[in-house]
Amino acid sequence: MEHIKLYDKTFKTFIPYEQIMASIDKVAEQVNKDFKDCTDVPILLCVLNGSIMFTSELMKRLDFNCQLVSIKLTSYEGTQTTGKVKQAMGLTADISGRRVIIVEDIVDTGKTIVELKNILKEKGASETYVCTLLHKPEACTEDLKLDYVAIPIPNRFIVGFGLDYDEIGRNLKDIYILDE
């Protein structure tokens, strides 16, 4: 098991790259099945910065036409969620009347998804779906329907594959867990 140090914290390998890829394959299969005969062009909404790597891998596996749009929301400081979701960058395209697949790196409390769904409703999305790489069911405080979940995980702090600790660690290809 590999250990890495980011700032003052040590992390150990939690989910190896191969397992992440296999999980993305499964999720993409489900999404493809659900959107197989679509005649519209759904929007793939990349929630920056964390879901860049997941969105990239998911897109490569989709069999239908889709448009990539981004938004940036923040709710974390260090290893803790602040409980407040801020919009750091608005939507990069008009989504009115469109179906939107929210692509998220992780759903923990669920507050970001609730806020995001409100933003999308305000902006006129016809339907929204949630596709997340990781989900912490124990941390979820919101009543949420997640349409696609690649990997359920315990309520622990993780980094890698797009997820960061104070803006570093996103580039790691494996996912690491805080070594306590």
Catalytic (active-site) positions: 108
Distances (CA, A) of 37 to 25, 41, 64, 98, 162: 19, 11, 8, 16, 31
Tokens of 13: 């390998």
Which residue reads 């409703």 in tokens?
Answer: 121
Q: Give the max Cα distance, the chain.
A: 50
Q: Reply yes or no: is the peptide bond before residue 49 cis, omega within 30 of 0.
A: yes
Query: What is the DSSP track for 82-104?
Result: EEEEEEEE--SS--TT-EEEEEE
Token pair 């993305």 in the structure block, residue: 24
